[in-house]
A and B are shown apart, each in its own frame.
Chain A
Amino acid sequence: MKTLVMGVIGADVHAVGNKILNLAFTEAGYKVVNLGIMVSQDEFIKAAIETDADAIMVSSLYGHGELDCRGMREQCIEAGIGDILMYVGGNLVVGKQDFAETEAKFKDMGFNRVYAPGTRPAAAIADLRVDLGE
């Protein structure tokens, strides 16, 4: 069984989407380690180490995603899990910015997949199947 570490990054307290995603990933057959809301980069990484996770799923709903996610890949490299799969999604930036730009920005930060607002959980699950070679 593949293990996913998930949570809402930064000082973000949006709890509903987190619960929906937890349910969707669990039903899709993953072992989900849900860290809930207000999760720091450090917590994601430590949980991933201890559980030998296959992917880190980051949510951000309050528009400060860029600030919160910056440097996360570097932290993973530093912690010895530099190759771990990382997905991010939600309302990553404030206002109506062009999503292609946002996607490029987060990919540049080292995220493997970046999702626009309104993406269905099924889309991320389909990508997981491909990326994890299932």
Chain B
Amino acid sequence: MKYGLFADVGSTFTKVVAVDLENAEIIGRAMSSTTIATDVNIGYDKAANAVMDMCGIKEFDLKLACSSAAGGLKMVAIGLVPELTSQAALLAVQNAGAKVLASYSFMLSKKEVNEIAGLLPDIILLSGGTNGGNSQVILHNAQALADCPVPLTVIVAGNKNATDECCEILEKAGKIAVPCDNVMPEFGVLDIQPAREQIRKVFLKQIIEAKGLDSLAKRVDGDIIPTPAAVLEAITLLSKGTDKTEGVGSFVAVDIGGATTDVYSATEGECLYQGATLKGLPHPKYKRSVEGDLGMRWSSPYILEMEGAEKLAKSAGVTEEEVATTIKKFNANPELLPENEIEQKVDVAVGKAATRISVKRHSGFITPVYTPLGERFMQEGKDLSAVKYIVGTGGIVISSPDYKEILAQAMYSEDDMYSLRPKNAEILLDKSYILSAMGLLSTQFPEIALEIMKKEIINRK
């Protein structure tokens, strides 16, 4: 194997990266508009041809692709108790690389079922109850989904005692039901790998075709996977390494997109704040979270709403009116880039807010409790204070000269001392936007992918 070609079919752009596998080097990179509405191959070929011209190589021994086009993989997560199986289902869905349209707890009401019908999810992950635990609620919810008038694909990953019956109920109503191991088999035990695997299988079998990616799927060598799933593969590899080569240890990555902000954390060892008692579900070592209300273009009005014009104006050093006008303009024309200093400053302020809020939501937090034996802490989620790096990726960060300022918002702050965000991390950049390509490569040649990532991200200074 000499050369590899890796494509990331995004909602706006199709990005292609060429790799010299023998020398572990990136030899070409290009992008073109995604053409999924007509034929995805047009955009793919355009970008691929540009790469071939760039590196002068026409034959590639390994061609792989991932995609987040046509809305990505859209899912709904359902569980019983919000902090327990609903949370477990949510973590599974996010780690599988899906976009979470909504999540529900307890017995679904008619109103909620109608809402789900309106959301048109690609897949629903239905959980509820530990094995041998509550089965009444998941059975009710299976029936409620069976009665839903739209076609649905449901992965049933709850109390195993109820799985068969849930599947029967759904299949009888003409829905596609996929049995799966419980996301929370025992209290406090998170087991999301089987659900991730089933989501990947359903994505391959049904979603690829429905999204018009099947013609591309025939031209590449491996399975097309959701882009965030590919990125999580890369993050996991970079952190833990391979049997032969050491990884770089714990770090956080932030991908600020136009519509969403994705945060990844890879943590080796226990993520517990000194002496704290962990409450709730333990979060995965390699975790992805996605925020649908944080982004640079489509979701920027939510950021304006959350932060307020005054705060954003102060952060950007412009007037409140300029903030509002710029956000409105970019929201209406998501493809635009800043054209003057004011727009540039507003973009940075929005990016800073997206980084701060998304990393805060991703990180764990502590709550002080005053006991007769003095102050103690209870912790929920992961303690990220000791991670070594914060890696930025995504358009705004890569193209911004102020990327350090934006990414610094991921760090611990004294105004928010109970949020367990990174304390002394070094800020790095995925400058050549290779994480998804390396995730794809890692499925076949992890050693090469690891070497390239170390070279391009960690040791690039």
Interchain CB contact (< 8 A) of A52 among B135, B277, B376: B135
Complex: how many Å from CA A31 to CA B188?
14
* Chain A positions within 8 Å of B130 at CB level: 50-52
Nearest-Cβ distance from residue A42 to partner chain B, whole angstroms: 9
Residue contact B83 to A3, C-beta cutoff 8 Å: no
- The total of chain A residues at the interface (CB under 8 A) is 22
Interface of B (DSSP majority class): loop
Residue contact A50 to B279, C-beta cutoff 8 Å: no
In the complex, B132 has a CB within 8 A of chain A: yes
In the complex, B373 has a CB within 8 A of chain A: yes
Complex: how many Å from CA A5 to CA B369?
23
| A22-56 at interface with B (beta carbon < 8 Å) | 31, 33, 36-38, 43, 46-47, 49-53
With both beta carbons as reference points, the residue of chain B lying nearest to A53 in the complex is identified as: B133
With both beta carbons as reference points, the residue of chain B lying nearest to A81 in the complex is identified as: B134
Interface string of A1-32 (1 = CB under 8 A from B): 10101000001110000000000000000010
Residue contact A47 to B187, C-beta cutoff 8 Å: yes
With both beta carbons as reference points, the residue of chain B lying nearest to A36 in the complex is identified as: B277
| A55-79 at interface with B (beta carbon < 8 Å) | 62-64
Residue contact B187 to A52, C-beta cutoff 8 Å: no
Nearest-Cβ distance from residue B187 to partner chain A, whole angstroms: 4
Residue contact A3 to B132, C-beta cutoff 8 Å: yes
Residue contact A52 to B133, C-beta cutoff 8 Å: yes
Size class of the B contact interface (CB-based, 8 Å): 20 to 34
Interface string of B263-285 (1 = CB under 8 A from A): 00000000000000101000000
* Chain A positions within 8 Å of B376 at CB level: 11, 13, 38
Complex: how many Å from CA A96 to CA B407?
58
Residue contact A46 to B133, C-beta cutoff 8 Å: no
Residue contact A50 to B378, C-beta cutoff 8 Å: no
Nearest-Cβ distance from residue A14 to partner chain B, whole angstroms: 9
Residue contact A37 to B277, C-beta cutoff 8 Å: yes
* Chain B positions within 8 Å of A33 at CB level: 186-188
Nearest-Cβ distance from residue B84 to partner chain A, whole angstroms: 5
Complex: how many Å from CA A63 to CA B187?
28
Complex: how many Å from CA A5 to CA B277?
18
| B76-129 at interface with A (beta carbon < 8 Å) | 80-81, 83-85, 129
Residue contact B378 to A31, C-beta cutoff 8 Å: no
Interchain CB contact (< 8 A) of B378 among A1, A38, A62: A38
* Chain B positions within 8 Å of A49 at CB level: 80-81, 134
With both beta carbons as reference points, the residue of chain A lying nearest to B85 in the complex is identified as: A50
Interchain CB contact (< 8 A) of A50 among B81, B371, B372, B373: B81
| B245-272 at interface with A (beta carbon < 8 Å) | none
Residue contact B277 to A50, C-beta cutoff 8 Å: no
* Chain B positions within 8 Å of A12 at CB level: 371
* Chain A positions within 8 Å of B279 at CB level: 38, 43
With A36-B277, A43-B279 as contacts: A50 and B184 at CB distance below 8 Å? yes
Residue contact A38 to B277, C-beta cutoff 8 Å: yes
Residue contact B84 to A47, C-beta cutoff 8 Å: yes
Interface string of B413-435 (1 = CB under 8 A from A): 00000000000000000000000
Nearest-Cβ distance from residue B137 to partner chain A, whole angstroms: 8
Residue contact B369 to A50, C-beta cutoff 8 Å: no
Complex: how many Å from CA A36 to CA B279?
9
With both beta carbons as reference points, the residue of chain A lying nearest to B374 in the complex is identified as: A13
With both beta carbons as reference points, the residue of chain A lying nearest to B88 in the complex is identified as: A50
* Chain B positions within 8 Å of A64 at CB level: 372
Most A C-beta atoms less than 10 A away, residue of B80, B83, B85, B133: B133
Complex: how many Å from CA A134 to CA B73?
49
Complex: how many Å from CA A62 to CA B373?
10
Interchain CB contact (< 8 A) of B133 among A37, A43, A51: A51
Residue contact B132 to A52, C-beta cutoff 8 Å: yes
Nearest-Cβ distance from residue B19 to partner chain A, whole angstroms: 46
Interface string of B370-394 (1 = CB under 8 A from A): 1111001010000000000000000
| B338-397 at interface with A (beta carbon < 8 Å) | 369-373, 376, 378
With both beta carbons as reference points, the residue of chain A lying nearest to B378 in the complex is identified as: A38
Residue contact A50 to B370, C-beta cutoff 8 Å: no
Interface string of A81-118 (1 = CB under 8 A from B): 00000000000000000000000000000000000000
With A49-B80, A50-B81 as contacts: A31 and B373 at CB distance below 8 Å? no
Interchain CB contact (< 8 A) of A46 among B81, B186, B277: B81
* Chain A positions within 8 Å of B134 at CB level: 49-52
With both beta carbons as reference points, the residue of chain B lying nearest to A51 in the complex is identified as: B133
Nearest-Cβ distance from residue B156 to partner chain A, whole angstroms: 16
Complex: how many Å from CA A53 to CA B130?
10
Complex: how many Å from CA A52 to CA B21?
54
A-B contact pairs, 25 of them (CB 8 A): A3-B133, A11-B370, A11-B371, A11-B376, A12-B371, A13-B277, A31-B132, A33-B186, A33-B187, A38-B277, A38-B279, A38-B378, A47-B187, A49-B81, A50-B85, A50-B130, A50-B184, A51-B129, A51-B130, A51-B132, A52-B130, A53-B133, A62-B371, A62-B372, A63-B372
Q: A5-B187, A38-B371, A52-B134 are in contact. List 10 more A-B contacts (CB 8 A).
A: A1-B132, A3-B133, A11-B369, A11-B371, A13-B373, A31-B132, A37-B277, A50-B134, A51-B132, A52-B132
Which B residues fall within an 8 A CB radius of A? 80-81, 83-85, 129-130, 132-135, 184, 186-188, 277, 279, 369-373, 376, 378
Which A residues fall within an 8 A CB radius of B? 1, 3, 5, 11-13, 31, 33, 36-38, 43, 46-47, 49-53, 62-64
List of 3 A-B pairs having minimum Cβ-Cβ separation, nearest first: A51-B133, A11-B371, A52-B134
